[in-house]
């Protein structure tokens, strides 16, 4: 079934509306000013000024002025751009406003046809076409032997959403978890294990028990006992030299930690392939040798992180990634800037000579703040455990859902399992969306009250909007699959047209979010889509109206696109609320 869907998507895949219009504008610019190389400047118009706006006239006039051109001013250039647009089914009309802005109105019939085709052939036909074929995302990356806390949620969720968007755009994505599984802390942990449980192999995992408590106890001893500190430092050397006993203890500690991480990833629905720091150890000497020969001669110094360099070399030369994206907090921006510059100096990354790939990007993000405006912590000033945060989101959500269902008399229609599962889905979705809807570069304040509200730009509001659309379709009692084939869509009412136009912009929004690496573009789009639907539903009766078939298909198209937005944001949609 999936194979058929992929084949249909490949056969019926289309370019985004914006890309198609850009091609028309490029052709027009060539006819308007032959010999002048100009990139199309096209953007979505403000309401009341057409659907898209071409803003090339002023800059183009400035370039051709005084070259014997017959154009008197930018308005004349704008008029020529409008007149020279090749004939197309897409464009209904054009007009020129202000100092030469060309307003373009899309054909309502074309909008309707495009939505109908998506319903027949699947939403994958709206996958954007990106230049990159294989991308590697390095995200989450917690440290072994430490628990995942609220600080890890941003990297994990942002990285997962970027990966899902690239996958939707048919890019092969390598999801990498660069865990901190090597380093001096392991000497401390292993030595503590050996001294406390000389027969630890026989005792098994019980020797370590709760890894957090074990870590704290070993750290206390390391800080207070000079003799232990010396023995721990020796243990690091013996681990690095590969002594069997030390390697076995290290592997055991890593596995306990990994099991805990995996429970969190499973709960969040996040897939990652672990290639931790230790994986790159064998590559460090040859990579450093190659790198030093090329770079140290140029800048005379060397202080770059050797593991980062070995990992980058491996990703470029073995995994053949074209775009390598690191998702970490903004505090590491300078480190990555230096690191990427060093890789360019070594000739690993192309200079700005027109070659786009391979390339590297740092996706930085701000802090999660508490209500006091400081870093989010527990009352005891400890970092908030990620597991506790997710538990609380689910239990609050369950209490709220029970209360609402009791008040509206629907509680009897729900089984305990449905209540449990829906609370889990909505709670996790609320936490993810509250993070993703912000520009990732900014800090945001964590608030259960806000994220679990059913009003405003929240996942809960969007889940209700989606469930309501599903309810409308169910109540109509029609076979929606048959309607897709036999019915047709019209966008005559202004609110039908506004909804239709927003639907067909889905593709270009995903493309822009992938290009700029900003997931909040997708959240903005999803919220605006549900607002457009709400207005449509208020002003355009669906069930029992003469336009029922067309409007049911618009309902279905909205639900399909909403679900795909949810999927890319890592949120499971609910169909009943």
Segment (H or E) for 94: strand 91-97
CATH number for 2-106: choose from 1.10.1380.10, 3.40.50.300, 3.90.1150.10, 3.30.1360.70: 3.30.1360.70
Numbered ranges of CATH 3.30.1360.70 in the chain: 2-106
Question: How many CA atoms lie less than 13 Å away from 403 in the CB half-sphere?
Answer: 6
Phi first, then psi, for residue 449 (nearest 5°) are -60, -45
Question: How many CA atoms lie less than 13 Å away from 38 in the CB half-sphere?
Answer: 29
CB of 427 closer than 8 Å to CB of 527: no
CA angle 14/16/21 to nearest 5° reads 115
CA distances from 130 to 89, 127, 134, 511 (A): 25, 9, 10, 7
CB of 48 closer than 8 Å to CB of 32: no
CB burial string 175-197: b at 16+ within 10 A, e below = bbbbbbbbbebbbbbbbbbbeee
Structure token pair of residue 436: 């993703």
Cβ count near 549 (within 10 Å): 18
CB of 366 closer than 8 Å to CB of 372: no
Measured distance CA(362)–CA(517) in Å, rounded: 9
pLDDT tens, per residue, the chain with 577 residues:
455 555 555 566 789 999 999 999 999 999 999 989 999 999 999 888 899 999 999 999 999 887 878 888 999 999 999 999 999 999 999 999 999 999 999 999 999 999 999 999 999 999 999 999 999 999 999 999 888 888 899 999 999 999 999 999 999 999 999 999 988 889 999 999 999 888 888 776 666 777 888 888 999 999 999 999 999 999 999 998 889 999 999 999 999 999 999 999 999 999 999 999 999 989 988 998 888 877 654 444 344 588 899 999 999 999 999 999 999 999 999 999 989 988 988 889 986 555 688 999 999 999 999 888 888 876 666 778 888 899 999 999 999 999 999 998 889 989 999 999 999 999 999 999 999 999 999 999 999 999 999 999 999 999 999 999 999 999 999 999 999 999 999 999 999 999 999 999 999 999 999 999 999 999 999 999 999 999 999 999 999 999 999 999 999 999 999 999 999 999 999 998 8
In SS3 terms, 370-422 reads as CCCCCECECCCCCECEHHHHHHHHHHHHHHHHHHHHHHCCCHHHCCHHHHHHH
Strands (E), 197-350: 273-274, 323-329
Cβ count near 333 (within 10 Å): 13
CB of 363 closer than 8 Å to CB of 440: yes
In SS3 terms, 215-246 reads as HHHHHHHHHHCHHHHHHHHHHHHHHHCCCHHH
Listed in sequence order, the residues at least 6 apart from 209 whose beta carbon sits closer than 8 Å to its beta carbon are none
Of 573, 537, 567, the closest CA to residue 552 belongs to 537
CA distances from 259 to 68, 145, 200, 256, 284 (A): 73, 11, 19, 5, 28
Token match 């930085």: residue?
364
Structure token pair of residue 23: 């091609």
Measured distance CA(248)–CA(229) in Å, rounded: 21
Listed in sequence order, the residues at least 6 apart from 50 whose beta carbon sits closer than 8 Å to its beta carbon are 94, 95, 103, 104, 105
> What's the pLDDT at 297?
47
> What's the pLDDT at 353?
53
> What's the pLDDT at 47?
82
Measured distance CA(557)–CA(134) in Å, rounded: 30
Length of the chain: 577
CB of 228 closer than 8 Å to CB of 191: yes
Q: What is the DSSP letter of 126?
A: G
Measured distance CA(385)–CA(388) in Å, rounded: 5
Q: Is the pTM of this model over 0.75?
A: yes
> What's the pLDDT at 300?
41
Measured distance CA(254)–CA(244) in Å, rounded: 15
């Amino acid at each position: 079934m999936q194979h058929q869907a992929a084949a249909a998507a490949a056969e019926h895949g289309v370019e985004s509306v914006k890309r198609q219009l850009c091609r028309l504008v490029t052709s027009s610019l060539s006819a308007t000013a032959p010999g002048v190389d100009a990139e199309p400047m096209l953007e979505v118009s403000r309401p009341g000024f057409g659907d898209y706006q071409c803003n090339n006239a002023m800059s183009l006039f400035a370039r051709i002025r005084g070259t014997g051109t017959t154009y008197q001013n930018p308005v004349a250039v704008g008029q020529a751009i409008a007149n020279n647009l090749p004939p197309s089914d897409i464009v209904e009309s054009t007009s020129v406003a202000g100092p030469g802005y060309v307003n373009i109105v899309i054909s309502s019939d074309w909008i309707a046809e495009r939505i109908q085709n998506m319903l027949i052939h699947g939403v994958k036909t709206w996958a954007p076409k990106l230049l990159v074929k294989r991308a590697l995302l390095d995200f989450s990356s917690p440290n072994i032997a430490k628990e995942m806390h609220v600080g890890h949620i941003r990297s994990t969720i942002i990285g997962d959403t970027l990966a899902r968007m690239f996958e939707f755009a048919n890019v092969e994505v390598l999801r990498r978890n660069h865990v901190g599984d090597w380093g001096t802390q392991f000497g401390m942990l292993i030595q503590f294990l050996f001294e406390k449980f000389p027969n630890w192999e026989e005792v098994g995992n019980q020797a370590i028990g709760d890894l957090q408590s074990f870590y704290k106890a070993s750290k206390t001893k390391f800080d207070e006992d000079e003799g232990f500190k010396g023995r721990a430092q020796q243990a690091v050397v013996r681990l690095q030299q590969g002594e069997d006993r030390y390697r076995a203890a290290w592997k055991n500690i890593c596995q306990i930690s990994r099991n805990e991480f995996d429970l969190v990833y499973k709960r969040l629905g996040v897939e990652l392939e672990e290639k931790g720091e230790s994986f790159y150890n064998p590559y460090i000497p040859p990579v450093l040798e190659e790198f030093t020969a090329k770079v140290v001669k140029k800048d005379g110094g060397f202080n770059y992180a050797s593991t980062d360099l070995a990992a980058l070399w491996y990703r470029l030369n073995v995994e053949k990634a074209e775009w390598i994206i690191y998702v970490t907090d903004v505090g590491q921006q300078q480190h990555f800037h230096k690191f990427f510059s060093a890789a360019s100096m070594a000739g690993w990354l192309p200079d700005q000579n027109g070659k786009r790939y391979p390339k590297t990007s740092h996706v930085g993000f701000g802090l999660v703040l508490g209500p006091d405006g400081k870093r989010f912590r527990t009352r005891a000033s400890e970092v908030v455990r990620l597991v506790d945060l997710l538990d609380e989101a689910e239990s609050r959500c369950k209490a709220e859902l029970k209360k609402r269902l009791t008040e509206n008399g629907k509680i009897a229609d729900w089984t305990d399992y449905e209540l449990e599962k829906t609370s889990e889905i909505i709670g996790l979705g609320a936490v993810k969306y509250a993070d993703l809807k912000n520009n990732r570069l900014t800090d945001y304040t964590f608030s259960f009250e806000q994220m679990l509200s059913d009003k405003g730009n929240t996942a809960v509001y969007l889940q209700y909007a989606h469930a309501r659309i599903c309810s409308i379709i169910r109540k109509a009692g029609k076979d929606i699959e048959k309607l897709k084939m036999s019915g047709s869509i019209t966008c005559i009412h202004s609110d039908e047209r506004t909804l239709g136009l927003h639907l067909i912009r889905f593709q270009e929004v995903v493309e822009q979010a992938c290009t700029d690496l900003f997931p909040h573009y997708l959240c903005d789009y999803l919220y605006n889509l549900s607002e457009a639907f709400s207005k449509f539903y208020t002003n355009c009766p669906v069930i029992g109206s003469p336009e029922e078939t067309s409007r049911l298909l618009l309902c279905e198209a909205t639900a399909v696109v909403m679900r795909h937005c949810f999927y890319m944001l890592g949120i499971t949609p609910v169909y009943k609320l």
